[in-house]
Amino acid sequence: MKPKIISLVGVVALGALAWIVVQQREITRLRSESSDLEARLAAPLGNRPAAQKGSGSSGDQGEPLSGSGIDWEEALMLAKGERGHADNAIFHRQIEALSPDQLMAAIDELEASDIPERLKMELAQRFLPRLVKVSPQIALERFGKYADSINMSTLLARAMESWTKEDSGAALAWLDGMVASNPLYANALSRISPGRIALETAVLRVMLPDKAELLVERISAMPEEEAARLFKNLRWEGSKDVEPLAIAELVRQTLPQEERDDVLRHKAGLLASGGLEKAAEFFDQIDAKPDELRACMEAVVEHRMKAPASAPDLESEMKAMRDWVAVRDVERADLLTGFGFGNALYGRDLDFDEVAPVVMIFHNSAGNDEVLHGFLKNGGCCHGARSLELAGKISDPEIREEVTRHIRSHR
């Protein structure tokens, strides 16, 4: 047995020794790579070690172009995702170190290249932050066609804001030319361009309130759906950059009633998710008209009752909700109360048997069928026999029949 034991011990020892040797080699390799990375980060633009330049199949090392100092073969590898985070960091540092003349030369080289458009846009995205700092106008003139790109629209909007502040006439003429020549809509499935919306939003922020008349003219000329999207995307509720009342007046002057109400509902509903007091403040800020308040009530109730509870129990929360709604839309207060119960049922994943008794408290207190009507036409309709049992408590035969058909269509 002893020879076997000794043999086993020897095998284990040899295995351990081999593992140590492998680890030492790995440590040596990592130290070498770390030293190399430090040298590359410290190297001036265009003077990176040759071993780290492009690694195309042809063996070509991709010497930097003389005008800008950019190693385009290496850049192309980055655009294709064939380089790691360290290489991306190096390329970013090199772009930031470019002089304005080198930067312009790099942009010229990129646009003149035969790189596929997808990769060209990927590289443009890397130059854009620096270009916006150097010249917002050139950033837009060269790369404005990429405004629909989710990765570039924010920076281009920032450039548009800066250029509009410097020379609004030239900036607007450029934007109008872009819209007329249609590149912002080239890949759109509809007449809505996220890029145009981002750029027009930047213009709006600069020009309000001093040039409201010009904005009315611009926005009125936009497709209605796109203009409505502009106002929805703009953060104008509680903003320090723009006056909510000034934006509301633009909405009223430029959109038909249906789109206008849709925009106000959108804003009021989002605010109500954070509390009724936020929606109330918004209505005060925009001097909401009675018809606008009525148009917004359903959205306010829906978003508030789908949000986390604002009171210890559903009954007290809904009482506060009903009182708040009644001040603004007394005729539909009971109907919207029932609607709110339906939103809470599904938005908060409550149990029907938990909600139904509270609904009945409000139904009995209202002295009409509107609470049950609102509840069973909304979230309360999908519970089969239990929903039909509540519908049987509706006294008006026409409403009862309407609600019953609705429930049966959702079984």
Residue-wise pLDDT tens digits, 208-220: 989 999 999 999 9
Residues 349 and 263 in one domain: no
Residue 261 has pLDDT above 70, yes or no: yes
Residues 298 and 320 in one domain: no
Q: What is the pLDDT of residue 249?
A: 96
Average pLDDT over residues 379-403: 95
Residues 338 and 278 in one domain: no
208 found inside a domain: no
62 found inside a domain: no
Percent of the chain with pLDDT over 90: 65
Chain segment 359-376, per-residue pLDDT in tens:
999 999 999 999 999 999
Q: Which domain holds residue 128?
A: 75-134
The model's pTM: 0.75
Chain segment 158-186, per-residue pLDDT in tens:
999 999 999 999 999 999 999 888 777 65
Other Cβ atoms within 10 Å of 246 Cβ, number: 15
Higher-pLDDT residue of 74, 47:
74
147 found inside a domain: no
> Domain end: 271, 289, 308, which one?
308
28 found inside a domain: no
User: Domain count of the chain?
Assistant: 3
29 found inside a domain: no
pLDDT mean across residues, the chain: 85
Chain segment 224-241, per-residue pLDDT in tens:
999 999 999 888 765 666
Residues 280 and 315 in one domain: no
Residues 392 and 340 in one domain: yes
Residues 79 and 123 in one domain: yes
Residues 399 and 320 in one domain: yes
Range 124-130, long-range pairs (CB < 8 A, 24+ positions): 124/152, 125/149, 125/151, 125/152, 126/75, 126/78, 126/91, 126/92, 126/95, 127/95, 127/103, 128/152, 128/155, 128/156, 129/155, 130/95, 130/96, 130/98, 130/103
Residues 256 and 335 in one domain: no
Residues 290 and 339 in one domain: no
Residues 324 and 297 in one domain: no
Residues 304 and 369 in one domain: no
Q: What is the pLDDT of residue 31?
A: 53
Residue 10 has pLDDT above 70, yes or no: no
Instruction: Output the six-digit token pair for 119.
Output: 């990769």
174 found inside a domain: no
Residues 315 and 379 in one domain: yes
> Domain end: 285, 308, 331, which one?
308
> Domain end: 308, 323, 340, which one?
308
Taking the C-alpha atoms of residue 220 and residue 251, their distance in angstroms, rounded to an integer, is: 10
406 found inside a domain: yes
252 found inside a domain: yes
Residue 60 has pLDDT above 60, yes or no: no
